[in-house]
Amino acid sequence: MATIEDFDKLDVRVGTIVDVLLFPEARKPAYKLFVDFGPAIGIKKTSAQVTANYTPETLMGKQVAAVVNFPPRQVGPFMSEILVLGFPDEAGAVTLMHPSKPVPNGGRMF
C-alpha cells in the first residue's frame, strides 16, 4: 500500500501547452508537447498518445497536470522530460487531466 510519503515524492505541477508537433516516428500515434511550467521550472517536453481525443489546435494553450520529477526517458528519437497525466475514456483513448479554471503555471498539486 502506498503512503502519503510515497505520494509526496511525486512533483505534480500544472503547465500550459505552448507548442505541439506531430511525432511520426512514434510507434503509436502521438504528439510532441512542450509545456510551460513557469519561470522556476521552465518549458519541458514530452510525447503523448492523445491523438484520438485532441488535435494540435485543441491542445495549444491547454493547461495540463504532469509529473515533473521523473528522470528523462528516451521515446524513439525524442527525449521525454515529463509525464502528462490523463485517464482512459470509454474507448480507451487518453483524456488529459487539467484544472477546471485557469491557475498559475508551476502550481503544485496537493
Q: What is the pLDDT of residues 5-39, one digit of tens each?
A: 999 999 999 999 999 999 999 999 999 999 999 99
Q: Residue type for 1, please?
A: M
Question: Would you give the distance in Å from CA 90 to the centre of its chain?
Answer: 20
Whole-model pTM above 0.85? yes
Which of 63, 32, 29, 65 has its CA nearest to residue 46?
32
Reported as a single tens digit per residue, the pLDDT across 34-68 is 999 999 999 999 999 999 999 999 999 999 999 99
What is the phi-psi region of residue 69: left when phi exceeds 0, alpha when psi lies from -120 to 50, beta otherwise? Answer: alpha
DSSP 105: T
Tell whether the model's pLDDT for residue 110 goes beyond 90.
no
- The C-alpha cell at 73 is 526517458
pLDDT of res. 49: 96
Nearest 5°: phi and psi at 5? -65, -35
pLDDT of res. 1: 95
Query: Does the domain made of 10-96 have the CATH classification 3.20.20.120?
Result: no
Q: Given pLDDT bands bounded at 50, 70 and 90, which one contains residue 85?
A: very high
**Is the distance from CB of 63 to CB of 99 less than 8 angstroms?**
yes
What average pLDDT score do residues 83-87 get?
A: 98
